[in-house]
Structure 1
Amino acid sequence: MSTRSADWDEAAVRDLHAELVELHGAVGASDAHGADSDADPGEGVRQLLTTILSQNVADANTDRAAESLFSRYDDFAAIESAPTDELAETIRVAGLADTKATRIQRALAAIREETGGAYSLAFLDAMGTEEAKEWLTEIKGVGPKTASVVLNFHFGKPTMAVDTHVERVSKRFGLVPESASNARAHDVLDATIPDELTYPMHVLLIEHGRTHCSARGPDCDNPVCERYCDCEWC
């Protein structure tokens, strides 16, 4: 029987993390370097655009769309100024191409306007996590998951990116209320997971969702599910 949401204090989360590590192995440190300007100043922007491409599509198609996008256009200015229908055709393999093309150009315009002409997200590094997330999510089409991917993976900020695996496992374990929206799940997990465990817990919850706690026909014969899960198969 799972620990219910009211009982998830820091010690309980650390226990869950330890048991997930025991089952799946330790997670290495994030590659986040903490400041967009420390390396390629456009790398954070590239990650934002790639994450927009990844919305509601398989990883393989995201990779193909990103390769097509960044090989066709010389720079971010060219992407922003491209005819939207041409851009949509370039990223067609990612699905929802017209919508994603508009979101990409809208995001690039917002960044350029914020910086006075540069395509860099370095300014987010100086912001607190919530302020940075608020800035990103004010761009129509950039939700909390997309913002959290950029902020956690690129800037090392402690905010959980809640994909379908993280949301499903978190609800089955009682970390997040079953009725919570995806946006609410982000808020709950950010408040519950200790900052230094945000990235490893993200990776471990995804791994557990893929290998054991799948949406249909999960494999509950493992010590983590036996202790924490409350799904109908356990």
Structure 2
Amino acid sequence: MSPQQVQTFFSTLRAANPRPQTELEYSSVFECLAAVLLSAQATDVGVNKATRGLFALANTPAAILALGEEGLAHEIRTVGLYRTKAKNLIATCRILLEQHGGEVPRSQEALEALPGVGRKTANVVLNVAFGEPTMAVDTHIFRVSNRTGLAPGKTPLAVEQALLKRVPNEFLVDAHHWLILHGRYVCQARKPQCERCAVHHCCDRKLET
């Protein structure tokens, strides 16, 4: 995409959805972190079903730590890889209490030091919970960036760096959400819905019928 096409691409997405939001349900920064940690290789719908019960029972690092690993695993048993996630979330809660006063840190380095939190998860938390202009490249963003010609790259990190350079500043905070939602509901993996895509005129891929 040319710079003008990139501008048009995001202007169009913004016009259709001025205030995009994550589909994960949360009511605090810690709940956001926990939900994102649980969402790896799982759907937002599935995570929300699990966290509604979990957060009603325990929604702070201390409360989740009090559940213990087995108690937490029971609450999130419907989520994929729940035993590993329970172990990581318990360890994360312990670190938050011991090293951060029970608060979620606001730095990439400190977030990535938490068990189960990689670069993508850290970027999601920084963007969603703190409003930082980060770019968390998941499978949807990776696909959309490459397929459309927006920010081609062979690795998620390469795509992240390309997006941060190519996306105009006015769109950066919300770009992560627009791209995920576009990939989830329109520019889908198996059959992209090109015929109803509002930004197909900016795309490198020819319109499919």
SS at match of 1:15: helix
1:190 is aligned with what amino acid? L
Residue 139 of structure 2: aligned partner: 164
User: Is contact 1:173-1:229 (8 Å) kept?
Assistant: yes
Q: Which amino acid aligns with 1:28?
A: R
The equivalent of 2:148 in structure 1 is 173
The alpha-carbon deviation at position 12 of structure 1 amounts to 4.5
State the distance in 1 between where 2:60 and 2:37 align: 17
Where do 1:1-234 residues align within 5 Å?
A: 3=1, 9=3, 11-21=4-14, 25-28=16-19, 43-73=28-58, 75-115=60-100, 118-121=101-104, 123-124=105-106, 132-180=107-155, 182-221=156-195, 222=197, 224-230=199-205
- Matching residue's letter, 1:225: H
Q: Following the alignment from structure 1 to structure 2, what is the Cα–Cα distance between the partners of residues 134 and 103? A: 17
* Cα deviation, residue 27, structure 1: 1.6
Deviation at 1:62, TM superposition (A): 0.7
8 Å contact from structure 1 (residues 172, 178) kept in 2: no
Q: Which runs of 5+ in 2 are unaligned?
A: none
- Shift of residue 51 of structure 1? 1.0
Q: 1:178: Cα distance to partner?
A: 4.3
Q: TM-score, normalised by structure 1?
A: 0.75
1:63-107: per-residue Cα shift (whole Å, max 9, x none)? Answer: 121122223337421312433122112111112111111111122
What letter is aligned with 1:191?
Answer: K
SS in structure 1 at match of 2:183 = helix
Q: Is the 8 A contact 1:144 1:183 kept in 2?
A: no
Equivalent residue pairs, number: 204
Q: Which amino acid aligns with 2:58?
A: Y
State the Cα RMSD in Å: 2.7
C-alpha displacement of 1:136: 0.8
Q: Which residue identity does 1:215 align to in structure 2?
A: A
